[in-house]
Amino acid sequence: MRKETRKYLCAELRDYQQSVNELLRLRDRMEMLQYPAYRADCGSKKAAYIETRIAMLQEIVGAIDSLRREISEEDEKLLQLKFWAPRPRMTDNQIAKEMGLSRSQFYRRLNCICLELGHKLGTDL
């Protein structure tokens, strides 16, 4: 896997909750555009942008949700500690120690998770 691709996938995993929140917010915005009073405030270009952004976020959130259903509990814990734990987050070495893994095992598992997510998103690995 290319380094840039891995960085992109890790960023999507890290920003997962923000993506979910933005998706919900944009869906609400699109619902508001059904009403003529709101449609006048928002041009067709902006509505098209919102639709495109919703489609992109749905793909990302759907892929991560699907991945989470398929991985083991241990890999889910790795994701929780690495990307979604409250700040300050543990270092990679601390996470590996917490999970009883060596550093290389930790990175191997993380790479496997990223590969699976990459396949689900159809990225160029």
- Which tens digits make up the pLDDT trace of 34-89? 655 555 555 677 778 888 999 999 999 999 999 999 999 999 999 999 999 998 99
Could you tell me if 18 and 64 are in contact, meaning their C-beta atoms sit under 8 angstroms apart?
Answer: no
Cβ partners under 8 Å of residue 5, min gap 6: 114, 118, 123, 124, 125
Reported as a pLDDT band with limits 50, 70 and 90, residue 112 is: very high
The pTM of the full predicted model, rounded to 2 decimals, is: 0.86
pLDDT of residue 116 exceeding 70, the answer is yes
How many other C-beta atoms are found inside a 10 Å radius of the C-beta of residue 33? Answer: 15
pLDDT, residue 115, reads 95
* pLDDT surpassing 80 at residue 122: yes
- The domains of the chain are located at 3-121
Distance, in Å, from the CA atom of 81 to the CA atom of 14, rounded to the nearest integer, reads 11
Q: How far apart are CA 31 and CA 103, in angstroms?
A: 47
